Amino acid sequence: MITSKKGLPLIFFAFISLLVGISSGSGGWISYPFESARHSFIFWELRVPRALLAFLVGGGLGTCGLVFQSLFRNALAGPFTLGVASGASFGACLGIFLSSSLGLYFSWGLFSSVTVLSFLGALLSVSIILGLSRFKNGFRPTVLILCGVISSFFFSSLILFLQFMAQQYDAKKMLQWIMGDLGVVGYSPSILLGIACLLVLYLVKKKAGILNIISVGEVFAQTRGINVDRERRVLFVTTSALVGVIVSFVGPISFVGLILPHWVKARFGHKLEDCLGPCFLGAGSFLVICDCFSRIFDGGSGLPVGVITSFIGGPYFLYILLKDKSL
Amino acid sequence: MNHIEIRSLSVEFDGCHLIKDISANFELGEITSIIGSNGSGKSSLLKAVVGIFPFQAKSLTVNGESLIEKKPQHRASLVAYMPQQLEIEENLIVEDFFHYSRFPQMESFRKLAPAEVKLRDRICVELKIAHLLKRKVSQVSGGELKKISIGGTFFQGCRYVLLDEPFQALDPVVKSEVAEFLRTAVDQFDCGIIMACHDLYWVQTLSDKALLLKRGELAHFGELRGVFTNENLTELYGQNFMTYTSEGSRDSILLPSGCK
């Protein structure tokens, strides 16, 4: 996937970030050979799974952002501007609320009522968008993004309502969930997410040519025999499903899916097949590094990683906006 | 059988009848011009034929095959269309524009075959845009972009090519270059050209046939010489026309009498 020379520094960066990611943390620097069994446990059961998960989450969100941006020809289209993440957040908050105030809770391996409701919340917002687009006679970017913004506000109000109704402890739990958390023990979330990412990457790679043509322009794609509406629908649903899986496991981590695709496109050109690999690698490593900061910050108080991605992402996005003359 | 055949085609949009009950044949190997005043439905007719505008019709066939139930990619391999204003991504490289234009002829998305590259280069040389291939769309002028769109539409490899205002935004010299390209393209690509055009000089110089549209209805259709009469044009535009003859030439051109 990465063929040009420009890709080499990126591979190097990814390697270093993973190395730093698994070695550093609140328990101090750990390197091979391990000093004790405790170190070995921290390394294999906490840090490696966490770095792996961070890498997959970042890569997945970056890929989804890249696809959304080409699909809708809009620099602002992303997993979060389209309302998928806010739907998922509402589902999770509802799960937390139901479990504490009504005692409705279940847990089965990886899945709990919170993750399942969160995924259903993502699906709900996807179906709202799909339904609306059918009603409005087509899958047009402006309608879609407007609909995303509206449903974001709507779900936010529902979340605030739940927080208002909930006990203080649950309200804080909801807030923490919304800030995003990569804390994980063991490998099963990474395996599940890895499979989901591979499936989506395979589909996107297969559709890369068509996506390239759509990103040129809607009328252009239509005259070149592409059913733009159908392609948009299919790719929107699959990538949104991946976003739903990611968000239901780790919460909404914003800006990764928005800034990395821009950075990659500026360096690797506008062909999707050239950007896919770098985007996954770059976004994955970016989140691993951000997660390192979050773990080291203040002696390991566990500052949510979403705070850091937004803190870096906001100004960087502004920088792109100022630099890019076509925006 | 070698023609696009339209039977009773109508286009309705937001309660407005843009096109009313038009029937016509467009033959292979001919240039047909669609003329009419602004808002007469020229663009709507082209968009309906190419299938990106909803329409009702008794039938719409290309070489005997119905276009209506065809999948978009199959349709785009039979009929190519250039919109009046092509909105395209500014960072796109012109070379890729040509590559993507060829998509309807591909089983699945692939690189251009050597023969296709040769064809592309020939089109670019003829339209004098070969030097632009490596540039971004944002780095070419409006007129150059028009020529690129025309080239891309022919590179799509269809037997019928629909052009909406191919002469718009071109300087007089470039207009004659494009006209020369269109004149030879009919034989070279063995295709039929249907163009909506306001430039009556080039319509009369190039076309074999003309279709006169008045408020969405077919006013006249037929061989250029038969249709392009003073009365017909006066009726169409609501203004008197005069015959102009250039020195040393037997050809005469009808133009509005207002321009001197």
Domain boundaries in chain B?
3-228
Give backbone dihedrals phi and psi of A173, rounded to 5 degrees, phi first.
-60, -40
Residues of chain A where predicted confidence (pLDDT) is lower than 50: 1
User: Could you please report the per-residue DSSP string of B174-226?
Assistant: HHHHHHHHHHHHHHHTT-EEEEE---HHHHHHH-SEEEEEETTEEEEEEEHHH
Work out how many CB contacts closer than 8 A connect A with B.
67
- Record: contact B100-A224, CB cut-off 8 A: yes
- Record: contact A73-B90, CB cut-off 8 A: no
- Record: contact A224-B89, CB cut-off 8 A: no
The verdict on residue A29 lying in a domain is no
* Partners of residue A213 in chain B, C-beta under 8 Å: 100, 103
Under DSSP, the state recorded for A44 is I
A327 interfaces chain B, CB cutoff of 8 Å: no
Output b/e per residue, B173-210; b: 16+ Cβ within 10 A: ebbeebbebbeebbeebebbbbbbbebbbbbbebbbbb
Identity at B116, one-letter amino acid code = E
The secondary structure of chain B in percent helix, strand, coil, rounded to multiples of 5, reads 35, 30, 35
Shortest distance, CA A217 to any CA of chain B (angstroms): 5
d(CA A144, CA B109): 27
In contact, A79 and A276? CB cutoff 8 Å:
no
* Partners of residue B103 in chain A, C-beta under 8 Å: 209, 213, 224-226
- Record: contact A222-B52, CB cut-off 8 A: yes
Query: pLDDT tens digit string along B141-150?
Result: 999 999 999 9
Please give the structure tokens belonging to residue A116.
Answer: 């399942």
Shortest distance, CA B260 to any CA of chain A (angstroms): 39
Question: Which positions ≥6 away from A184 have C-beta within 8 Å?
Answer: A49, A50, A53, A190
pLDDT value at B39 more than 80: yes
- Record: contact B73-A226, CB cut-off 8 A: yes
Q: Token pair 């690999």 is at which residue? A: A277
Chain A: residue whose CA lies nearest to B154:
A224
- CA separation (Å) from B105 to A39, A249, B4, B77, B157? 60, 44, 19, 6, 7
pTM exceeds 0.90: no
* CA nearest neighbour of B151 among B205, B91, B100: B100
Identity at A252, one-letter amino acid code = P
Q: What pLDDT is stored for residue A4 in this prediction? A: 60
**Nearest CB to A226 within list B72, B74, B77:** B72
pLDDT value at B57 more than 70: yes
Please give the structure tokens belonging to residue B37.
Answer: 């005043």
Shortest distance, CA B240 to any CA of chain A (angstroms): 38
Q: What pLDDT is stored for residue B254 in this prediction? A: 84
* Partners of residue A326 in chain B, C-beta under 8 Å: 90-91, 138
d(CA B192, CA A27): 75
In contact, B42 and B54? CB cutoff 8 Å:
no
CATH number of the domain within which A274 lies: 1.10.3470.10
**Superfamily of B3-228 according to CATH:** P-loop containing nucleotide triphosphate hydrolases (3.40.50.300)
The verdict on residue A176 lying in a domain is yes
Please give the structure tokens belonging to residue A259.
Answer: 């800034």
Q: What pLDDT is stored for residue A19 in this prediction? A: 77
Q: Where are the alpha helices (DSSP H) in chain A?
A: 7-23, 37-41, 48-72, 84-97, 113-135, 141-165, 168-179, 188-206, 208-216, 218-223, 228-250, 256-268, 272-296, 305-323
* Partners of residue B75 in chain A, C-beta under 8 Å: 225
* A19 compared with B41, residue with greater pLDDT: B41
A112 Rama sector, left if φ>0, alpha if ψ -120 to 50, beta otherwise: beta
Output b/e per residue, A237-257; b: 16+ Cβ within 10 A: ebbbbbbbbbbbbbbbbbbbb
What's the structural domain count of chain A? 1
Chain A: residue whose CA lies nearest to B52:
A222
Q: What pLDDT is stored for residue A327 in this prediction? A: 57
- CA separation (Å) from B35 to A91, B217, B256? 58, 12, 14
Percent of chain A residues topping a pLDDT of 90:
31
Beta bridge partners of B243: B254
In contact, B64 and B1? CB cutoff 8 Å:
yes
Q: What pLDDT is stored for residue A262 in this prediction? A: 84
Chain A: residue whose CA lies nearest to B100:
A213
The A residues from 153 to 182 touching B (CB cutoff 8 Å) are none
Please give the structure tokens belonging to residue A302.
Answer: 């566990």
Query: pLDDT tens digit string along B96-113?
Result: 999 999 999 998 889 999
Shortest distance, CA A64 to any CA of chain B (angstroms): 20
- pLDDT band at residue B259 using 50, 70 and 90 as cut-offs: low
Q: Where are the alpha helices (DSSP H) in chain B?
A: 42-50, 72-78, 94-101, 114-126, 142-155, 172-188, 200-206, 224-227, 230-237
In contact, A99 and A105? CB cutoff 8 Å:
yes
Chain B: residue whose CA lies nearest to A72:
B89
Query: In terms of C-beta density within 10 A (0-12 exposed, 13-18 middle, 19 or more buried), how is residue B250 classed?
Result: exposed
- Record: contact A219-B100, CB cut-off 8 A: no
- Best B91, B93, B156, B163 member to test A by mutation, with max A CBs in 10 Å, is B91
- Best B103, B108, B153 member to test A by mutation, with max A CBs in 10 Å, is B103
* Partners of residue B96 in chain A, C-beta under 8 Å: 212, 271
- pLDDT band at residue B207 using 50, 70 and 90 as cut-offs: very high
Q: What pLDDT is stored for residue B13 in this prediction? A: 83
Range of the domain at A128: 7-13+34-323
Q: What pLDDT is stored for residue B252 in this prediction? A: 80
